Structure 1
Amino acid sequence: MKQTLRTAGTLFCVLLFSSVVKAQQSDSTQLVHKVQGIKILHTLETAYGAKDVEQLTEHVPAKSLNKGLISTPEQLIAGHFTGLQVVQGNGRPGKGDQLIIRNGTSVFGNNAPLIVVDGVPLESTHVFDYTGLLSFLAPEDIASITLLKVAASNAIYGSRATNGVLFISTKSGAENANPTVTYTTTTAISVLRKKADILDIEQFRDLVKKEYPKEAALLGNDNTDWQDVIYRKAFSHDHNLGVSGTAFNFMPYRVSGGYLTQNGILETSQQKRTSFAVTLNPVFLKEHLNLNLHVRKADQRIRVANERAIGAALSFDPTQPVHQQNNYGNYFAYLHEDGTADQYAPSNPLSLLELHRGIDETNSFMGQAHLQYKLHFFPQLSLNVRYSLRDQENAYSAYEPKEMVAVSSTKGRLQANSAAINWEQKEAFLSLNQPLNSLQSKLAFTVGAQTRKYEYETRTSVVYDPDGDKVNGNYYNYNSRTEFASLFTEAGISVKDRYFLNGALTQEKYPTVMSDTEGLITWGIGSAWNIANESFIAGIPTISMLRLHANYSYFVKPDLGANQFSKGDPRYENTTKWNTGLSWGINNNRLSGDVNYFQTKTSDLYNYVYQTSSNGYIRRYVNGGEISSKGLEATISYSLVSNDDLNWNIGTNLSHTLTKVNSLYQNVKNLKYGPDGPVTLTMFVGNPVGSFYVSGQVYDESGKPVEGEYKGADSSGRIAMGQKDPKWMLGLLSDLSYKKFTASFLLRAATGQQVYNMADALRSSIAMVWGPNYLENITRSYYDSGFEYRQQTSSYFLEDASFIKLEYLQVGYRVGSIWKERANLNLTATAQNAFVLTNYSGQDPEVAGGIDYGQYPQPATFSVGLKVEI
Structure 2
Amino acid sequence: MYLLLLLPMSFFAQNTVSGTVTESATSLPVPGANVIVKGTTNGTTTDFDGNYTIENVSAGDVLVYSFLGFVTQEVPYEGQSTIDILLDEDQGTLDEVVLIGYGATSEQDATGAVQKVSAEDFNQGAVVAPEELIAGKSAGVQIVPGDGAPGSGGSIRIRGGASLSGSNDPLIVVDGVPLDQRGVQGSRNALNSINPNEIEDFTILKDAAATSIYGSRASNGVILITTKKGKKDTPFQFTYDVKTSIGNITDKVDVLNAEQFRNIINNTPGTDPELLGDASTDWQELIYQTSVGAIHNLTATQGVGNFYYRLNFNHTQQTGVLKRDYYQRDAFNISLNQDLFDNQLKLTLTSKNSLDQNNFANRGAIGAAVAFDPTQAVYDPNSPFDGYFEFTRATGSDITQQNLATRNPVALIAQTEDSNQTRRSITNLNAEWKLPWVDGLKAVVSGGFDYSEVQGATFLPITAASNTSNINQFSNYDGINRNLLLDTYVNYQNEIEAISTEIDATAGHSYQEFYSYSDSYGTEQDQERDFPEYISRNALESYFGRVSFDINNKYLISGSIRADGSSRVAPQNRWGYFPAASIGWKVQNEKFLENADWLTQLKLRAGYGETGNYEIGQDYGYLGIYTPSVGGASYQFGNEFVPTLRPEEYDENLKWEALKNYNAGIDLGFFDNRLTGSVDAYYRETKDLVAVVPIPAGANLSDQLLTNVGTAISRGIEVAVGGDLARSEDFNWSVNYNITFQEKEITKLSLGDDPDFFIPQGGISGGVGNTIQLWKKGFDPSTFFVFRQVYNEQGQPIEGAYVDVNGDNQITEADRQPYKKATPDYFMGFTNTLNYKNFDLNFTFRGSFGNYVYNNTKSSNGFVEAGTNTPSDYYSNLNANVLETNFQNSQFFSDYYLEAADFVKLDNVSIGYTIPGEKVDFRASLTASNVLTITNYDGLDPEVFGGIDNNFYPRSRRFVLGLNFAF
TM-score, normalised relative to structure 2: 0.82
Residue 800 of structure 1 aligns with an amino acid whose one-letter code is A
Give me the whole-angstrom Cα distance separating, in 2, the residues matched to 1:769 and 1:589: 63
Change in CA separation of 1:796 and 1:525 when aligned onto 2, cut-off 3 Å: same
What is the CA-CA distance between 1:207 and the residue it aligns to?
A: 2.8
Q: Kindly tell me the number of residue pairs found equivalent between the two proteins.
A: 833
Corresponding residue for 2:679? 595
What does the per-residue CA deviation read over 1:356-412, in whole Å, with 9 as the maximum and x for residues that have no partner? 011022111111111000012334100100110111111222111112112154233
Corresponding residue for 2:775? 683
Native 8 Å contact 1:35 1:119 kept in 2:
no
Residue 662 of structure 2 aligns with an amino acid whose one-letter code is W
Local SS of the residue matching 2:916: strand
Residue 342 of structure 1 aligns with an amino acid whose one-letter code is Q
Corresponding residue for 2:476? 416
What is the CA-CA distance between 1:106 and the residue it aligns to?
A: 1.0
Corresponding residue for 1:736? 834
Change in CA separation of 1:351 and 1:567 when aligned onto 2, cut-off 3 Å: closer
Give me the whole-angstrom Cα distance separating, in 2, the residues matched to 1:130 and 1:536: 57
Residue 309 of structure 1 aligns with an amino acid whose one-letter code is A
Change in CA separation of 1:648 and 1:41 when aligned onto 2, cut-off 3 Å: farther
Give me the whole-angstrom Cα distance separating, in 2, the residues matched to 1:480 and 1:515: 18
1:647-662 counterparts in 2 under 5 A? 647-662=732-747
Give me the whole-angstrom Cα distance separating, in 2, the residues matched to 1:476 and 1:662: 41
1:111-260 counterparts in 2 under 5 A? 111-150=168-207, 152-211=209-268, 215-247=272-304, 249-260=305-316
What does the per-residue CA deviation read over 1:809-865, in whole Å, with 9 as the maximum and x for residues that have no partner? 111111222xxx211010000110022111221111122222122211111111100
Give me the whole-angstrom Cα distance separating, in 1, the residues matched to 2:503 and 2:289: 60
Give me the whole-angstrom Cα distance separating, in 1, the residues matched to 2:721 and 2:123: 19
Give me the whole-angstrom Cα distance separating, in 2, the residues matched to 1:658 and 1:601: 12
Give me the whole-angstrom Cα distance separating, in 1, the residues matched to 2:574 and 2:423: 38
> Of the two structures, which has the highest relative contact order with CA contacts closer than 8 Å and spacing of 6 or more?
1
Say whether 1:774 aligns with 2:883.
no
Give me the whole-angstrom Cα distance separating, in 2, the residues matched to 1:567 and 1:263: 46
Corresponding residue for 2:56? none
Give me the whole-angstrom Cα distance separating, in 2, the residues matched to 1:616 and 1:854: 36
Give me the whole-angstrom Cα distance separating, in 2, the residues matched to 1:617 and 1:118: 44
Give me the whole-angstrom Cα distance separating, in 2, the residues matched to 1:259 and 1:35: 33
Native 8 Å contact 1:127 1:419 kept in 2:
no
Corresponding residue for 2:560? 504
Corresponding residue for 1:70? 127
Local SS of the residue matching 2:392: coil
Based on CA coordinates, which of the two structures has the bigger radius of gyration? 2
Corresponding residue for 1:18? none
Local SS of the residue matching 1:434: strand
Native 8 Å contact 1:35 1:41 kept in 2:
no
Give me the whole-angstrom Cα distance separating, in 2, the residues matched to 1:552 and 1:518: 23
Give me the whole-angstrom Cα distance separating, in 1, the residues matched to 2:99 and 2:173: 9
User: Please, which of 454, 460, 474 is the counterpart of residue 514 of structure 2?
Assistant: 454
Corresponding residue for 1:704? 796
Give me the whole-angstrom Cα distance separating, in 2, the residues matched to 1:231 and 1:571: 46
Native 8 Å contact 2:713 2:746 kept in 1:
yes
Give me the whole-angstrom Cα distance separating, in 1, the residues matched to 2:898 and 2:372: 25
User: Please, which of 504, 507, 522 is the counterpart of residue 578 of structure 2?
Assistant: 522
Corresponding residue for 1:23? none
Higher alpha-carbon deviation: 253-262 or 159-168: 159-168
Corresponding residue for 1:340? 399
What is the CA-CA distance between 1:128 and the residue it aligns to?
A: 2.1
Residue 866 of structure 2 aligns with an amino acid whose one-letter code is M
Say whether 1:801 aligns with 2:934.
no
Native 8 Å contact 1:34 1:143 kept in 2:
no
Local SS of the residue matching 1:306: coil
Give me the whole-angstrom Cα distance separating, in 1, the residues matched to 2:565 and 2:710: 25
Give me the whole-angstrom Cα distance separating, in 2, the residues matched to 1:34 and 1:360: 46
Give me the whole-angstrom Cα distance separating, in 1, the residues matched to 2:307 and 2:881: 65
User: Please, which of 420, 430, 446 is the counterpart of residue 360 of structure 1?
Assistant: 420
User: Please, which of 866, 879, 883 is the counterpart of residue 783 of structure 1?
Assistant: 883
Higher alpha-carbon deviation: 223-232 or 319-328: 319-328
Corresponding residue for 1:845? 942
1:323-334 counterparts in 2 under 5 A? 323-325=379-381, 326-334=383-391
User: Please, which of 952, 956, 965 is the counterpart of residue 855 of structure 1?
Assistant: 952
Native 8 Å contact 1:296 1:365 kept in 2:
yes
What is the CA-CA distance between 1:51 and the residue it aligns to?
A: 6.0
Local SS of the residue matching 1:406: coil
User: Please, which of 722, 732, 748 is the counterpart of residue 846 of structure 2?
Assistant: 748
Give me the whole-angstrom Cα distance separating, in 2, the residues matched to 1:118 and 1:392: 17
Change in CA separation of 1:195 and 1:795 when aligned onto 2, cut-off 3 Å: same
Identity over aligned residues, as a percent? 27
Residue 863 of structure 1 aligns with an amino acid whose one-letter code is V
TM-score, normalised relative to structure 1: 0.91
Residue 673 of structure 1 aligns with an amino acid whose one-letter code is Q
Native 8 Å contact 1:193 1:834 kept in 2:
no
What is the CA-CA distance between 1:500 and the residue it aligns to?
A: 0.3
Native 8 Å contact 2:186 2:422 kept in 1:
no
Give me the whole-angstrom Cα distance separating, in 2, the residues matched to 1:463 and 1:273: 30
Local SS of the residue matching 1:476: coil
What is the CA-CA distance between 1:416 and the residue it aligns to?
A: 2.3
Native 8 Å contact 2:422 2:453 kept in 1:
yes
Residue 173 of structure 2 aligns with an amino acid whose one-letter code is V
Give me the whole-angstrom Cα distance separating, in 2, the residues matched to 1:556 and 1:250: 41
Say whether 1:604 aligns with 2:688.
yes
Change in CA separation of 1:518 and 1:743 when aligned onto 2, cut-off 3 Å: closer
Native 8 Å contact 1:388 1:425 kept in 2:
yes
Native 8 Å contact 2:651 2:706 kept in 1:
no
Say whether 1:320 aligns with 2:405.
no
Local SS of the residue matching 1:205: helix
Change in CA separation of 1:397 and 1:693 when aligned onto 2, cut-off 3 Å: farther
Corresponding residue for 1:8? none
Say whether 1:637 aligns with 2:722.
yes
Give me the whole-angstrom Cα distance separating, in 2, the residues matched to 1:33 and 1:124: 35
What does the per-residue CA deviation read over 1:478-519, in whole Å, with 9 as the maximum and x for residues that have no partner? 223212111000011101111101111001111133333882
Change in CA separation of 1:616 and 1:291 when aligned onto 2, cut-off 3 Å: closer
When the two chains are superposed, the root-mean-square deviation of aligned CA atoms in Å is: 2.7
What is the CA-CA distance between 1:217 and the residue it aligns to?
A: 2.6
Give me the whole-angstrom Cα distance separating, in 1, the residues matched to 2:187 and 2:774: 27
Local SS of the residue matching 1:239: strand
1:270-349 counterparts in 2 under 5 A? 270-325=326-381, 326-336=383-393, 340-344=399-403, 345-349=405-409
What does the per-residue CA deviation read over 1:308-338, in whole Å, with 9 as the maximum and x for residues that have no partner? 1001101112222222213312222223456
Local SS of the residue matching 2:181: coil
Native 8 Å contact 2:231 2:309 kept in 1:
yes
Give me the whole-angstrom Cα distance separating, in 1, the residues matched to 2:99 and 2:349: 14
Native 8 Å contact 2:712 2:744 kept in 1:
yes
Native 8 Å contact 1:605 1:624 kept in 2:
yes
Residue 489 of structure 2 aligns with an amino acid whose one-letter code is F
Higher alpha-carbon deviation: 206-215 or 296-305: 206-215
Give me the whole-angstrom Cα distance separating, in 1, the residues matched to 2:353 and 2:94: 24
Native 8 Å contact 1:323 1:330 kept in 2:
yes
Give me the whole-angstrom Cα distance separating, in 2, the residues matched to 1:64 and 1:501: 30
Corresponding residue for 1:12? none
Local SS of the residue matching 1:297: strand
Change in CA separation of 1:779 and 1:617 when aligned onto 2, cut-off 3 Å: farther
Change in CA separation of 1:103 and 1:27 when aligned onto 2, cut-off 3 Å: farther
Tell me, which stretches of 5 or more residues in structure 1 are unaligned? 1-25
What is the CA-CA distance between 1:783 and the residue it aligns to?
A: 2.1
Say whether 1:547 aligns with 2:603.
yes
Corresponding residue for 1:719? 817
Corresponding residue for 2:105? 44
Native 8 Å contact 1:681 1:691 kept in 2:
yes
Give me the whole-angstrom Cα distance separating, in 1, the residues matched to 2:144 and 2:100: 29
User: Please, which of 414, 425, 429 is the counterpart of residue 369 of structure 1?
Assistant: 429
What is the CA-CA distance between 1:119 and the residue it aligns to?
A: 1.5
Corresponding residue for 1:10? none
Corresponding residue for 2:753? 667
